[in-house]
């Protein structure tokens, strides 16, 4: 199946507006019959969606199967948590005071993620295919084991964020406030990356997934474009990590293990790689399936795995292509009859 | 005419297998030059060496007086050497318009190529501007590949097997357009087997045999020498 034919099977962009409207109404619904738990579950889904949206920028459009995006997620979450930890203890980090103010720790987290992405991207983007995957996996695990060994910040047990994180004095106060913050940030990045994908820069990234040699023949050095894309992608995933620290008030090495990286790949593939917002659908399905299936059976991962295989085999465009694929099959049957 | 593009004693190969032994050629500004020869004689290897896709093992390549062998491929293209590769190699996951826009290099001169002028040049592409690259016919893909190279506003356009595998009517259309490019003053180096069409357009011919330039001459010299056709081109 060609890329164009997959693209034709995938729903257009407008349903994402409907999804965001429905998501915006979720706290209202929870007030009249749902529960706070529903909001926390959705918050978790939206944060994972944002992390996977970041990943999908290089995976779905650049063809780069990165298994190190959990490390960007972890850099975001740990930066906020570590700065809050020093704020709580009243001591300094490299001579600088800690802070629980997200207007300081948030940008610091993104800056560190940018530096980390440039440094690692300059290395891993010189490799391709299986080597790229293995390099990203290795880097992810290096950071994972480093954080486990770092007893000062909780080691394997992770660390609790004791002081309330705030925006220059404004505290989130409720699950709904955190939920709406996450939703707005997610909508912002979906919009931003959608614009970027359609730009000349985005076209180069998409073209690089096809054949880099062809790009050089028209005067474009794919490496530099891919490095910028990888850095943007890592920074977006780091923002998701910051939101994770806000919502969980706790960070753990598990947040940056390779399993988290693999989850993000699954979320992106499940939702659909050819739309920026595909991972949003993937994350909602992933988190809700995780919750409901684990309630039914302890072997829920087996059932979930079969479901993922079914989606990949039957719907190459992910969940976004379910409707169009079924319609196409019915149209074929009607014409055969 | 003085050469603004020159290859001197080029040698190149793949691993231990040497393909080019001694290739030298010159192209003057605005000249239409062919590189001909039978299959496997080193035509595409020469082109790949020019474009920096393959690193030459010896010899020199000059563009506008500057040595360009050893430069990265994208830097050679940025200098104004446009390349239409064998097999078209358009990007199937981009639309026609995106394929063109992505390639644009502005050089600050008058009458530069842009999407509109490429669409004027190849009206078929204008009709298919929103289609994906993999939804085009072979001829349309070739037009897009040429259009994409034109978007880099090249001083020298290199085409490798530009009409291979195309229907005769499409081939004629491509030749017509290449004739217009020549009239516009674009220098062209082309690898192709269509002697009749080439003889109408080319100013100078180079024939390559087993990695060496074995014959060169103008159009009249080539067409008046059937023995050359038989010996080196298998015509």
Range of the domain at B70: 1-80+187-235
Helix (H, G, I), strand (E, B) or coil at B99: helix
Distance CA A73, CA A81 (A): 12
Count residue pairs from A and B with Cβ separation < 8 A: 79
DSSP letter, residue A255: G
Find the residue in B nearest to A63 (Cα). Answer: B93
Judged by average pLDDT, the poorest of A126-135, A320-329, B17-26, B172-181 is A320-329
Shortest distance, CA B107 to any CA of chain A (angstroms) = 13
Average predicted confidence (pLDDT) for chain A: 91
pLDDT of residue A249 exceeding 90, the answer is: yes
Contact B74 A210 (CB under 8 A): no
Distance CA B40, CA B147 (A): 28
Domain count, chain A: 1
Cβ neighbours of residue A284 closer than 8 Å, sequence gap 6 or more:
A42, A45, A49
Contact A203 B102 (CB under 8 A): yes
Residue B195 has which token pair?
């002697």
B101 touches A at CB < 8 Å: yes
| Residue % of chain A over a pLDDT of 70 | 94
> pLDDT band at B195, cuts 50/70/90?
confident
The answer to whether the CB of A277 falls within 8 A of the CB of A190 is yes
Instruction: Kindly list the residues from chain A whose CB atom is less than 8 angstroms away from the CB atom of residue B88.
Output: none
CATH of the domain at B70: 3.40.50.300
Instruction: Kindly list the residues from chain B whose CB atom is less than 8 angstroms away from the CB atom of residue A214.
Output: 85, 89, 91
Structural domain contains residue B193: yes
The Cβ-side half-sphere exposure at B64, using a 13 Å CA radius, reads 9
Give residue-wise pLDDT tens across range B58-71: 999 999 999 999 89
Average predicted confidence (pLDDT) for chain B: 90
Nearest beta carbon to residue B94 from set A206, A216, A219 = A206
Instruction: Kindly list the residues from chain B whose CB atom is less than 8 angstroms away from the CB atom of residue A201.
Output: none
Judged by average pLDDT, the poorest of A98-112, A133-147, B182-196 is B182-196
> pLDDT band at A286, cuts 50/70/90?
very high
What average pLDDT does the segment A94-107 reach? 94
In this prediction, residue B227 carries a pLDDT of: 81
The answer to whether the CB of B85 falls within 8 A of the CB of A214 is yes
Distance CA A5, CA A15 (A): 20
| Residue % of chain A over a pLDDT of 90 | 72
Find the residue in A nearest to B72 (Cα). Answer: A216
pLDDT of residue A6 exceeding 70, the answer is: no
In angstroms, what CA-CA distances link B64 with A113, B76, B181? Answer: 44, 12, 20
Domain count, chain B: 1
Which H/E stretch holds residue B160? strand B156-160
The answer to whether the CB of A255 falls within 8 A of the CB of A73 is yes
Distance CA B109, CA B155 (A): 12
Residue B228 or residue A275, greater confidence: A275
pTM of full prediction above 0.90: no
CATH of the domain at A94: 1.10.3470
Structural domain contains residue B14: yes
Structural domain contains residue B37: yes
In this prediction, residue A7 carries a pLDDT of: 57
pLDDT of residue A101 exceeding 60, the answer is: yes
Residue carrying the six token digits 């060994």: A149
Closest to B179 measured CA to CA, from B164, B163, B96, B165: B163
Contact B94 A4 (CB under 8 A): no
Structural domain contains residue B195: yes
B112 touches A at CB < 8 Å: no
Distance CA B215, CA B235 (A): 15
In this prediction, residue B49 carries a pLDDT of: 95
In this prediction, residue B223 carries a pLDDT of: 86
B154 touches A at CB < 8 Å: no
DSSP letter, residue B132: B
In this prediction, residue A328 carries a pLDDT of: 72
Interface test with A, best of B55, B68, B71, B73 (most A CBs within 10 A): B73
Instruction: Kindly list the residues from chain A whose CB atom is less than 8 angstroms away from the CB atom of residue B89.
Output: 211, 214, 217
Give residue-wise pLDDT tens across range B84-107: 988 778 898 899 999 999 999 998
pLDDT of residue A335 exceeding 80, the answer is: no
In this prediction, residue A11 carries a pLDDT of: 61
Distance CA B179, CA B202 (A): 9
Instruction: Kindly list the residues from chain A whose CB atom is less than 8 angstroms away from the CB atom of residue B103.
Output: 218-220
Range of the domain at A24: 3-336
Instruction: Kindly list the residues from chain A whose CB atom is less than 8 angstroms away from the CB atom of residue B83.
Output: 217-218
pLDDT of residue B83 exceeding 60, the answer is: yes
In this prediction, residue A196 carries a pLDDT of: 94
Structural domain contains residue B174: no
B214 touches A at CB < 8 Å: no
Which residues on adjacent β-strands are paired with residue A251? A159
Residue A22 has which token pair?
């429905």
Structural domain contains residue B180: no
In this prediction, residue B235 carries a pLDDT of: 64
The answer to whether the CB of B118 falls within 8 A of the CB of B128 is no
Chain centroid to CA A272? 13
Instruction: Kindly list the residues from chain B whose CB atom is less than 8 angstroms away from the CB atom of residue A217.
Output: 51, 53, 73, 77, 83, 85, 89
B70 touches A at CB < 8 Å: no
A196 touches B at CB < 8 Å: no
Structural domain contains residue B44: yes
A203 touches B at CB < 8 Å: yes
Structural domain contains residue B8: yes
pLDDT of residue B192 exceeding 60, the answer is: yes
pLDDT of residue B233 exceeding 80, the answer is: no
Contact B132 A7 (CB under 8 A): yes
């Amino acid at each position: 199946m060609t890329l164009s034919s997959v693209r034709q099977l995938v729903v257009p962009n407008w349903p994402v507006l409907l999804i965001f409207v429905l998501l915006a109404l979720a706290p209202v619904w929870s007030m009249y019959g749902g529960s706070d738990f529903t909001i926390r579950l959705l918050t978790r889904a939206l944060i994972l969606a944002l992390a996977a949206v970041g990943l999908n920028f290089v995976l779905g459009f650049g063809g780069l199967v990165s298994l190190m995006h959990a490390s960007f997620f972890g850099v975001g979450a740990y930066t906020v948590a570590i700065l809050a930890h020093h704020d709580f203890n009243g001591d300094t980090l490299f001579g600088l005071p800690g802070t629980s103010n997200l207007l300081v720790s948030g940008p610091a987290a993104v800056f560190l993620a940018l530096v980390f992405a440039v440094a690692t991207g300059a290395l891993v983007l010189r490799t391709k295919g299986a080597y790229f995957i293995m390099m990203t996996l290795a880097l992810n695990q290096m950071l994972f084991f480093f954080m486990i060994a770092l007893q000062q910040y909780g080691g394997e047990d992770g660390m609790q964020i004791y002081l309330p994180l705030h925006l220059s004095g404004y505290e989130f106060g409720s699950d709904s406030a955190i939920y709406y913050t996450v939703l707005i940030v997610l909508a912002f990045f979906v919009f931003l990356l959608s614009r970027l994908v359609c730009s000349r820069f985005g076209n180069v990234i998409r073209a690089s997934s096809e054949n880099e040699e062809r790009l050089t023949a028209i005067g474009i050095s794919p490496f530099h474009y891919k490095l910028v894309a990888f850095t943007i992608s890592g920074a977006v995933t780091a923002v998701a990590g910051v939101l994770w620290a806000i919502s969980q008030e706790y960070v753990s090495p598990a947040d940056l293990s390779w399993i988290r990286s693999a989850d993000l790949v699954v979320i992106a593939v499940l939702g659909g790689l050819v739309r920026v917002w595909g991972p949003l659908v993937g994350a909602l399905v992933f988190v809700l399936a995780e919750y409901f299936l684990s309630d039914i059976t302890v072997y829920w991962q087996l059932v979930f795995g079969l479901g993922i295989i079914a989606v990949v085999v039957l719907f190459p465009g992910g969940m976004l292509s379910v409707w169009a694929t079924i319609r196409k099959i019915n149209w074929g049957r009607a014409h055969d009859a | 005419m003085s050469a603004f593009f020159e290859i001197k004693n080029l040698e190149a190969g793949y691993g231990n297998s040497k393909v080019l032994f001694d290739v030298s050629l010159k192209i003057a500004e605005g000249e239409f030059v062919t590189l001909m020869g039978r299959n496997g004689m080193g035509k595409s290897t020469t082109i790949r060496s020019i474009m920096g896709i393959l690193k030459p093992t010896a010899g020199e390549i000059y563009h506008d007086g500057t040595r360009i062998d050893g430069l990265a491929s994208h830097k050679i293209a940025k200098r104004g050497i446009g390349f239409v590769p064998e097999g078209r190699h358009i990007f199937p996951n981009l639309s026609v318009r995106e394929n063109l826009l992505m390639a644009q290099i502005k050089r600050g001169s008058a009458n530069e190529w842009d999407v509109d002028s490429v669409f004027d040049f190849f009206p078929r592409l204008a009709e298919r501007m929103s289609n994906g690259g993999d939804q085009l016919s072979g001829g349309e893909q070739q037009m897009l590949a040429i259009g994409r190279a034109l978007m880099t506003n090249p001083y020298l356009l290199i085409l490798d097997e530009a009409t291979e595998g195309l229907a005769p009517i499409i081939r004629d259309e491509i030749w017509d357009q290449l004739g217009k490019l020549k009239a516009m003053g674009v220098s062209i180096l082309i690898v192709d087997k269509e002697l009749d069409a080439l003889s109408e357009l080319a100013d100078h011919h180079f024939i390559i045999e087993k990695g060496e330039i074995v014959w060169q001459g103008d159009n009249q010299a080539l067409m008046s020498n059937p023995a050359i056709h038989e010996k080196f081109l298998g015509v």
